Structure 1
């Protein structure tokens, strides 16, 4: 079940990554994906959302999501 949630979250995040143009849109998507992944691994959902939001907001700055 955990792997299914993880694969689903990664598929959704990958699909949305082409549609997101601003840092705030990417941060919101990253927060959602981070929360889902943290929940799938029974980790702290708030920490997962924070890490995902930071990754989403900064991915353009390090040229990962262009």
Structure 2
């Protein structure tokens, strides 16, 4: 997984990628994964690329997606 260490994947993108892999591993539904991806993107853009904003957005989006998928 050397591509995770290169310029292709900065800290925020790496955090979202690892979160998405973890969600898939845990058997998350499509709504949860889609919400996490959308939330991570919005969080990244709203905080000018902050890793904390990206992860926070992904968590919030995942929760919203999970609730909508019930």
Task: Establish whether TM, by shorter chain, passes 0.5.
Answer: no
Larger Rg, first or second structure (1 or 2): 2
Structure 1 length as normaliser, TM-score?
0.38
Structure 2 length as normaliser, TM-score?
0.36
